[in-house]
Structure 1
């Protein structure tokens, strides 16, 4: 036998599975649990593309909202203290998540800055002086993590976001939004002057000026990473769109409201949604085209429908559109006697028009509430 001929023969033989049509493969995958579907992505490029294709979203099991990361604060002691929490809203399908993230490198303090498609962006303080720090991007489901070097401005910033799409790449991007007063202490303006972008593939930061865009991002502005673009809700009825090179453009929201606070934006079923809080209702809009800035009104829900009688007078609340279902998730703070605040999570089904209570987050919760959609595959490049 010629050396290597048996190997060539094996290579030319096709696996029976490779003969299956795409439709039949998708049908088989649809019978698997979500975690097994994630493993299918690792079999071949063809399987990965089938699982990730938008046309198969309704057939294949999808990872969905599992819970929220947030902070609570204790005002009963002499010194106000904060603690990091995670609250599940998914039942038992998602493994228990430890909010301490004890698998990460030891540091003086750890702040969770953002959550995106199963990964968390954390700021790890190395000292108590509030200056020395690194970023860490981690996957709580697999306990894998990567260190990202800080910039000269990192310790002074409040708007830092994470961009990651496992259907496209195992690499991620970190976005820093640098206001004018950080660049020049004599300039007191909050407008964003520079956007920094870190690419885990290139391993370097790049920086781009925002030019003439007068963009003011609130501290806990909601964000969405979609199609390689980071969208952030901004003051003055704007949404900012920043690509992976740091180039910035501004999209005007559909309804002006005299420059009030930022809107809530969410990613659901592959589209960007915006929730506008009115005096007596919430209106939900979908972005049709980012290049033209066209929006479509999808739903209007009254406070009475959303909160029912018990909470119908609520005004302090956050809205998240469920990533897969036609549901509106509302996180609302209910004030009690003595100024105590209890945060509740409610869900409103747009199709059935039914509201139900999901869970209590607890007393004295602190925004932001970072929604968490777990990622069970080992798709974090260069992770430890």
Structure 2
């Protein structure tokens, strides 16, 4: 079929396919595989929006339902974000999602101890070899625009100003042990982390962000423009580090202009009334708040968790661009993490 139409026409057709169909279409022919692998087609495709939800069940007691993360995909244009069917992964019911990064999920089972990395887009998964130490905190790092390889970082012990870690590199297929020096007291470090450009960015309650290079394990400390709270987040937009600080009713965003000098510039500031223009809500006794979730990697758009929905808010136009509800349990759902990532040959080939 591809021999009967021009490559430009075929590219236009492929650009309109859902990401799962596009991933499978690589097997049609070598010419289809080449077009799907091209950077031109990747730039034509919309970013994929994904979320990890926390459904709040009964607390306390042996009879309480286990609390767990649920993976959901948000469709283009808004609507209802339904939980993804993960039944293709045989260990889904015996392990827990503990992290996600750019289209991959990290599952962990405590007994017997096991890590799995799962790609919901292509419905592939990989079992990792057993780590040597006991994991205290685990993070997944994956950039589908750069490589099909990923890393899993496990913190296995705390030092006064650093940590013992094990890093699994999918390219090498093995774990390696390291010690890192944060450059700050470990007690100041938070569990709020962000992966970008081969590095892990960790917020510290001392008012700093620590960049850990996952190749060299070197750490760099940069002072932040505002204090760190449980609602603060770091992220990247157009390749630059940004810092978001929110008190639930007001959001301030800074951009790092000079990493060496710690030069931050204020980019945006919005209030709750800019986001939620519902007079009935304001007239009720309910407290109106929103939480910052993520930056769009290429546009001046942020993703916010408002009452029972995820919002894409355009910071330039000052308007809600898209919104998603989260099924019948939306009032009990608490959004933990979202990310946006490009479809690419690396996402399609990952875990092949």
* Band the TM-score falls in, shorter-chain normalisation: 0.7 to 0.9
Give the counterpart of 1:234 among 194, 198, 204.
Answer: 204
- Measure how far apart 1:137 and its partner are: 0.8
- Aligned-pair RMSD on alpha carbons? 4.1
- Alpha-carbon displacement from aligned partner over 1:1-30 (angstroms, at most 9, x marks no partner): xxxxxxxxxxxxxx9x99x9xxxx799669
Distance in 1 of aligned mates of 2:93 and 2:10: 49
How far apart are residue 200 of structure 1 and its match? 0.6
Deviating 4+ runs (over 6 angstroms):
36-42
Unaligned runs of 5+ in 2: none
Judge conservation of contact 1:329–1:346 (CA < 8 Å) in 2: yes
Asked whether the 8 Å contact 1:42–1:48 carries over to 2, the reply is: no
Instruction: Give the Cα–Cα distance (whole angstroms) in 2 for the partners of residues 374 and 282 of structure 1.
Output: 26
Aligned pair 1:218/2:190, yes or no? yes
Match of 2:300 among 320, 326, 347: 326
For residues 217-241 of structure 1, the C-alpha deviation after alignment (integer angstroms, 9 at most, x for no partner) is 434x14132x222223333222222
Tell me the number of residue pairs that the alignment of Structure 1 and Structure 2 aligns: 330
How much has 1:382 moved relative to structure 2?
4.9
The alignment partner of 2:312 has SS state of strand
Shift of 1:142: 1.0
Shift of 1:265: 2.1
Q: Deviations over 1:110-137 (max 9, x none)?
A: 2212222211111133x3xxxx311111
Select the residue among 68, 76, 84 that pairs with 2:51.
Answer: 68
Per the normalisation by structure 1, the TM-score is 0.69
Moved more, 236-245 or 167-176: 236-245
Contact 2:256 2:262 in 1 (8 A): yes
Distance, in Å, in 1 between the alignment partners of 2:36 and 2:87 is: 37
- Matches of 1:382 and 1:31, distance apart in 2: 22
Partner of 2:214: 244
Higher relative CO (CA 8 A, sep ≥ 6), structure 1 or 2? Answer: 2
Change (3 A) 1:45 1:365: closer
With over 3 angstroms needed to count, the CA separation of the structure-2 counterparts of 1:26 and 1:294, relative to structure 1, is farther
Do the aligned residues in 1 keep the contact of 2:183 with 2:221 (CA within 8 Å)? no
Question: 1:255-294 to 2 correspondence within 5 Å?
Answer: 255-257=225-227, 260-261=229-230, 263-278=232-247, 281-294=250-263
Q: Is the 8 A contact 1:119 1:137 kept in 2?
A: yes
Q: Residue 266 of structure 2 aligns with which residue?
A: 297
User: Quick check: which has more Rg, 1 or 2?
Assistant: 1
Distance 1:381 1:61 in 2: 18
Offset of 1:100 from its aligned partner? 5.6
Question: What CA distance in whole angstroms lies between the structure 2 residues aligned with 1:264 and 1:324?
Answer: 17
- Residues 49 and 106 (structure 1), Cα distance of their counterparts in 2 relative to 1, 3 Å cut: closer
Query: What residue ranges of structure 1 are gaps of 5+ in the alignment?
Result: 1-14, 184-188, 335-342
> Secondary structure, in 3 states, of the residue corresponding to 2:100?
strand
Task: Find the partner of 2:316 among 344, 347, 351.
Answer: 351
> Once the 2 structures are TM-superposed, how far is the Cα of residue 302 of structure 1 from its aligned partner?
1.9
Question: Among residues 72, 90, 101, which one is paired with 2:75 in the alignment?
Answer: 90
Alignment of 1:32-111 (within 5 A): 32-33=15-16, 35=19, 43-44=33-34, 48-51=38-41, 57=43, 60-65=44-49, 67-75=50-58, 79-81=63-65, 82-91=67-76, 99=84, 101-106=86-91, 109-111=94-96
Q: Contact between 2:139 and 2:152, CA under 8 Å: does it hold in 1?
A: yes
